[in-house]
Amino acid sequence: MLPAAVLVSAVTLIPIGFVIWIAFQTGWETSIALLIRPRIGELLINTVLLIVVAVPVSVVLGVAVGWLTERSDLPGRRVWSVLGAAPLAVPAFVHGFAWVGAIPSLHGFFAGALVAVLAYFPFVYLPTAAALRRLDPAQEDVAGSLGLTPTQVFGRVVLPQLRLPILGGALLIALHLLAEYGLFALLRFDTFTTAIFDVFQSSFIAPAANMMAGVLVLLCLGLLTIESATRGNARYARLGSGTARETRLFRLGPLGELAGLSLLVVLTALALGVPFATLLRWTVLGGIANWRFNEIVPVFLQTLGLAAAGAILTTLAALPVAWLAVRGRGKLGRVLEGCNYITGAMPGIVIALALVTVTIRVVQPLYQTLFTVLLAYVVLFLPRALISLRASIAQAPPELEDVAQSLGRTPTRALWEITMRLAAPGAAAGAALVFLAVTTELTATLILAPTGTRTLATTFWSLTSEIDFVRAAPYAVIMVLLSVPLTWVLYVQSRRVAGR
């Protein structure tokens, strides 16, 4: 297990190693010359501005929707709580496609920020809603009995306890903003990721692209540091035993109800209505003849094949790391696990660039092979498999393996027959998450896939680039339909955390 875990972690460190190696290789003077340029400054301003605007807006929206659906007596709360998570079923670049389809002139910073907020605010909404459901209402009662008004209670008791889910969601959104290519390319807003992609397409592995990748990695690491520094060591567990009482709902009153409903209606119209209306429009325009099954079916099958292979490989790679993180004594397990999470925060473009460089320079025969693109999926999506696998291994008590050994099973057989058998549902859930992530993966697939590979995302992308929106629409519809189960799983999981 240990050598396997070390090997997996070493492979996932390739992107970071690549950036460091590039920095040394290029040398100080060239690096500085490449970095101190108006273009880099412009990209930096764009990217930082995007984070500074889109993240807080998403947080406000996410918390508002979470509070309205969990803690207020808004009519139709259950329906709204599902609709709040639903935008996740639409891949970000399909959001972009829908908006450009609806308003062709849409472009630039505000368009990018608006669509990004609509695509990503559920990342804050889901964990915040889960935390709100978990809060013990007795704390709020106590605060009220100590003389605080309901508004003060929210500010001084509820909001501070939402810090962790809000921070986690904000980090996730910021990392997505750094990594997203399709959405911003469609809305013609330049970020580091789109710029790297452009350079890569025009001049392949150029020092300029590598340097920008380095800056992107630094931005990611900066975000991770900020998040872990602000998270601190605080733990907001409920003290004491017994089950929490049912939450009391806040009475909005007619005015509040009107305001809450308007917010949710507008938000849903923008985040779900626009994509669905556009997709519907293109689909109707194209008619049944537009569903060229002789083209779509091979692409669909190829996507499923890649996704299945990626899911299985990623789960297998996550296995030793997860096992070591749970059962291993001491720091090594935690360090290895940490490595994988850092890599998980790296944008797909950096991972793709690193693998291109490594395959070209070191193992040429592997360049643009199935192996390399699958390796990219493993590196990109390992954390998703790791989280559910880790949780399910942790639920299998080690005593069970001891007992199996005392009953004559070798340690390896005990591990497989007992712990792995018990972890199987978690492994399957993790594999499903990876599977669905691969079906909508665009950036790394575009760069790394062998010539002739056509996935739903890449085919959609090439048709979109040819402005053939009608022919692209079926692929977008299939991707959305495939993503619905994933979104449902995320929604149900966030509710189960709350213990209901």
Partner 1 sequence: MSGLEIQAVSKSYGAVRAVAGVDLSIPAGQHTAIVGASGSGKTTLLRLIAGFEAPDAGRIVLNGVVLADAAGTMVPAHKRRVGYLPQDGALFPHLSVAANIGFGLEKGADRASRVGELAEMVALDRAMLARWPHELSGGQQQRVALARALAQRPKLILLDEPFSALDTGLRAATRKATIALLDAAGVTALLVTHDQAEALSFSEQIAVMRDGRVAQAGAPIDLYLRPRDSATATFLGDAIILPAMVNGGWATCALGSLAVDDAQRTGSARIMLRPEQVQIAESDSARVAGKVVDVEFVGHSCVLTVDLASSNGGQTVQVRSPVGPAPMVASPVRLRVAGPAHVLQD
CB 479 within 8 A of CB 463: no
> Nearer Cβ to partner 1, position 408 or 452?
408
In whole angstroms, the minimum distance from the beta carbon of 444 to partner 1 comes to 37
Element (H, E) at 232: none
In whole angstroms, the minimum distance from the beta carbon of 377 to partner 1 comes to 30
Task: Give the number of other Cβ atoms within 10 Å of residue 176's Cβ.
Answer: 17
> Nearer Cβ to partner 1, position 138 or 424?
424
Amino acid at 148: L
> Nearer Cβ to partner 1, position 295 or 417?
417
Interface with partner 1 in residues 326-355 (CB under 8 A): none
> Nearer Cβ to partner 1, position 298 or 397?
397
> Nearer Cβ to partner 1, position 36 or 407?
407
In whole angstroms, the minimum distance from the beta carbon of 1 to partner 1 comes to 16
Task: Give the number of other Cβ atoms within 10 Å of residue 216's Cβ.
Answer: 25
In whole angstroms, the minimum distance from the beta carbon of 338 to partner 1 comes to 22
Interface with partner 1 in residues 206-245 (CB under 8 A): none
Count residues binding partner 1 (CB under 8 A).
17
Under DSSP, is residue 238 helix (H, G, I), strand (E, B) or coil? coil
CB 167 within 8 A of CB 121: no
**Angle, CA of 84, 60 and 261, to the nearest 5°:** 50
Q: What is the DSSP letter of 36?
A: S
Q: Can you tell me which residue has the tokens 């849903």? A: 268
Residues in CB range of 289: below 8 A, 6 or more apart: none
In whole angstroms, the minimum distance from the beta carbon of 332 to partner 1 comes to 14
* CA dist., res. 351 & res. 193, Å (int): 12
* CA dist., res. 468 & res. 386, Å (int): 39
In whole angstroms, the minimum distance from the beta carbon of 432 to partner 1 comes to 20
> Nearer Cβ to partner 1, position 59 or 404?
404
Q: Which of 357, 352, 34 is nearest to 179 (CA)?
A: 352
> Nearer Cβ to partner 1, position 414 or 448?
414
Q: How many CA atoms lie within 13 A of 267 on its CB side?
A: 29
Q: How many CA atoms lie within 13 A of 204 on its CB side?
A: 3
> Nearer Cβ to partner 1, position 222 or 397?
397
* CA dist., res. 160 & res. 172, Å (int): 19
Task: Give the number of other Cβ atoms within 10 Å of residue 487's Cβ.
Answer: 20
Amino acid at 51: I
Residues in CB range of 301: below 8 A, 6 or more apart: none
> Nearer Cβ to partner 1, position 156 or 421?
421
> Nearer Cβ to partner 1, position 253 or 398?
398
In whole angstroms, the minimum distance from the beta carbon of 417 to partner 1 comes to 9
Interface with partner 1 in residues 124-183 (CB under 8 A): none
According to DSSP, the residues that pair with 250 across neighbouring strands are 72
In whole angstroms, the minimum distance from the beta carbon of 335 to partner 1 comes to 18
In whole angstroms, the minimum distance from the beta carbon of 134 to partner 1 comes to 25
According to DSSP, the residues that pair with 72 across neighbouring strands are 250
Which pairs count as long-range contacts for 408-414, CB under 8 Å and 24+ apart, including other chains?
none
Phi, psi for 250 (deg, rounded to 5): -80, 130
Interface with partner 1 in residues 384-443 (CB under 8 A): 397, 399-400, 402-411, 414, 418, 421-422
In whole angstroms, the minimum distance from the beta carbon of 334 to partner 1 comes to 17
Which residues make up the interface to partner 1 (CB under 8 A)? Answer: 397, 399-400, 402-411, 414, 418, 421-422
